[in-house]
Structure 1
Amino acid sequence: MSAFGTVFTPEMIISRFENNNWSTPQVVKSDSITLHPGAHVLHYSSTCFEGLKAFRHADGGIYIFRMDKNVARMAQSSELLSLPKIDQTMLSEMITDIVSRFAADVPNPPGSMYIRPTHIGTEPSIGKAAAPSLQSLMYVLLSPVGDYFAGGAKPLRLLLEDNARCASHMGMVKSGGNYASALQPIMKARAAVQADQVLFCPNGDVQETGAANFLLIDGKEIITKALDASFLHGVTRDSILTLARDRGMTVSERQLTVDELLERAAKPDAEAALSGTAAVLTPVGTLIHDGKEHTVGTGQGGPTTNALRQALNEIQWGQAEDKHGWLTKVC
């Protein structure tokens, strides 16, 4: 079986921004991009992207989950990176057009079509370290994927690190540079303590991991950091919190310190999880801090984590009512 995200459809859809205008989107071969070696993105990391999914329902219909939210976040990322302003309506149409074109390739649940819109600065200039690219390329790439955890979600081990994932004003930007800056700490954590991920906690403030938002579940309460510029405003995070409120849970979006996290995690019924597009909601079983391992609750995926994950999946798969209007029908 191919690794998650390594199989692509043979075509994608692109549009270029030149002379202050976006070109009419075109379907091209997925390996057809060429870049000048002086392209702004290659030297100054003017790039952002999104990750969302399309699902096949039992009636054969294809539905995209929370496309509007992802498109709006990509527009925000583009603006914060000083990339050309994107046309949100055009990007939405690009997404639905290319998904419709490859509707037959959308797997049945628990598989899905992973959708990767990307925006990069293409102006050939190595003299613009302090100036934006006036040319850019936006494309939508598709990857049919199976279940992220084919053998079931194993509880993760997280190393708590007293550093930030990225520059504090850049956290809410979904940019490749933020993932690159987290890679070395994650690799070192895997080698040193066999951690799956690093939970970044600058000055004791629990924020996020290298690729997902963090949630602590204490009985009927979910605690997670309040939205600010320092970390990514996850669409799955927002969806899980909404479903938690629907179930009568208390959602506390506030500062969470490392000390409070470890104290609450020691409770027998405590749960913790990571939320993201690929893995949906993944249980956290162990927190590693100052050379000591702390078991979260029973160390296994708890009932609330499992219930919230199932509730979200059932909406995505068309097995439960879409009360919040999260699904966009493509065909």
Structure 2
Amino acid sequence: METASKDLIIEKTANSKIAQVDFDNLPFGKVYSDHMLVCEYKNGAWQTPKIQPFGPLSLDPTAKVFHYGQSIFEGMKAYKDENGKVFLFRPEENYKRFNISSERLAMPAVPEEVFMNGLNELLKLDSDWIPTTPGSSMYIRPFGFASGSGLHASPADEYTFAIVLAPSGSYFAGKVKVKIEERYSRSANGGVGFAKAGGNYAGQFYPTQLAVDEGYQQVIWTDDTSHEYIEEAGAMNVFVRINDTLLTCPTSDRILDGITRKSILDIAKAEGIATEVRKISVKEIIEAAENGSLKEMFGAGTAAVVSPINAFGFRGTDYDLPELNDSYANRLKKRMTDIQYNKSEDPFGWRVEVK
């Protein structure tokens, strides 16, 4: 059945897949809800968005996304509380960052009503898919790409914006061991490291696999020139606790302005935790590990929220981090997830109910 308005077309699936899903054992990002949002950009304008049954998209072999990599995305989550209410977490930040990425890749900005209203209606339609098992959530993937065809090395004339939903369990199981990388770089000054461009992640896979072959789960990236300063942990922002001060790197052309990152900084300040946003050298981390002042390291991002690091390697030497009963990582993660799942007050105004 299809319904339409001037703002949105909705075509409901005839055959829901929800009965086939084990919601108590969800992998991350491998199960998809019944519907998706699709909106096309043609003739210099965005067309009417459509919610339709989840399924393949058809593209010409010369679609420019395949040849010139105009592809961006966001990562968001929806949460269902014990009363069945559904909430988003700082969605306006994801919308803003999506269009920052669009601009950097010479793609047209997506209108707010397409992004926000489309997401809201999609979540309402597939609200039964939002899991309630502890630690689970509805992972939301807005993405855009060049669907216009042609082999000339130039921006496309047509684009597709879409949102898919993936009911998911936890991203990481347990703690991770990382390698500090000093040969390969995630991004460079003047590049696209601050954007959520697909190519950023493609370029990470090879050096990450090399680290996995050495017994690590992830890498910590360093700056592209000297490799003296840490920048990100895999696909996440990285935090370091030295004594009782929580440190993280400043954002730049090379470092993503993570929404979880900025939220952790605000929560830490509200909790009375000393924070510093500054460059962090590998030398400083090694010295802190050796003298016992390095208490914690963890990654922060939408998918994992907070991912504790229990050891890191550098130039053939591994350094173990201490086990803490009251770690900043666990404390900050609990405070944030309590806000996200509507288990506590939200003094920051971050939680947005889906109505």
TM-score range, shorter chain: over 0.9
Q: Distance in 1 between matches of 2:209 and 2:120?
A: 36
What's 2:222 paired with?
Answer: 201
What's 1:280 paired with?
Answer: 305
Q: CA deviation at 1:78?
A: 0.4
Q: Percent identity?
A: 29
Q: Distance in 1 between matches of 2:301 and 2:282?
A: 22
RMSD across aligned positions (CA): 1.5
What's 1:107 paired with?
Answer: 131
Q: Distance in 1 between matches of 2:126 and 2:301?
A: 24
Q: CA deviation at 1:133?
A: 1.4
TM-score (norm 2): 0.88
Deviant stretches of 4+, over 4 Å = 299-302
Matches within 5 A, 1:91-106: 91-106=115-130
Q: Is 1:161 aligned with 2:181?
A: yes
Q: Distance in 2 between matches of 1:294 and 1:275?
A: 20
Structure 1 residue ranges without an equivalent (≥5): none
Cα 1:284–1:38 change in 2 (3 A) is same
Aligned counterpart for 1:57 among listed residues 71, 81, 87: 81
Q: How many positions carry a matched residue from both structures?
A: 324
The letter of the residue matching 2:180 is: L
What's 2:193 paired with?
Answer: 171
Q: CA deviation at 1:287?
A: 1.2
Matches within 5 A, 1:1-331: 1-108=25-132, 109-127=134-152, 129=153, 131-149=154-172, 153-162=173-182, 163-168=184-189, 169-192=191-214, 194-202=215-223, 203=226, 204-266=228-290, 267=292, 270-296=295-321, 298=322, 303-331=327-355
Structure 2 residue ranges without an equivalent (≥5): 1-24
Q: CA deviation at 1:16?
A: 0.5
Give the secondary structure class of the aligned counterpart of 2:337. helix
The letter of the residue matching 2:220 is: L
- 1:255-279 deviations in Å (ceiling 9; x for gaps): 1110012222342561110001111
Q: Distance in 2 between matches of 1:286 and 1:299?
A: 11
| Equivalent residues of 1:271, 1:302 under 8 A apart | no
- 1:43-80 deviations in Å (ceiling 9; x for gaps): 11100000000000122110011110001000100000
| Equivalent residues of 1:215, 1:224 under 8 A apart | yes
Q: Distance in 1 between matches of 2:99 and 2:302?
A: 18
Give the secondary structure class of the aligned counterpart of 2:141. strand
Give the secondary structure class of the aligned counterpart of 1:240. helix
Give the secondary structure class of the aligned counterpart of 2:230. coil
Give the secondary structure class of the aligned counterpart of 1:273. strand
The letter of the residue matching 1:133 is: A
| Equivalent residues of 2:34, 2:126 under 8 A apart | no
Give the secondary structure class of the aligned counterpart of 1:207. strand
Give the secondary structure class of the aligned counterpart of 1:96. helix
Q: CA deviation at 1:29?
A: 2.3
Give the secondary structure class of the aligned counterpart of 2:254. coil
Q: Distance in 2 between matches of 1:167 and 1:45?
A: 17
Give the secondary structure class of the aligned counterpart of 1:195. coil
- 1:162-190 deviations in Å (ceiling 9; x for gaps): 13213432110101100000100010111
Q: CA deviation at 1:18?
A: 0.5
Q: Distance in 1 between matches of 2:68 and 2:205?
A: 18
- 1:214-233 deviations in Å (ceiling 9; x for gaps): 10012331111111111111
Q: CA deviation at 1:126?
A: 1.0
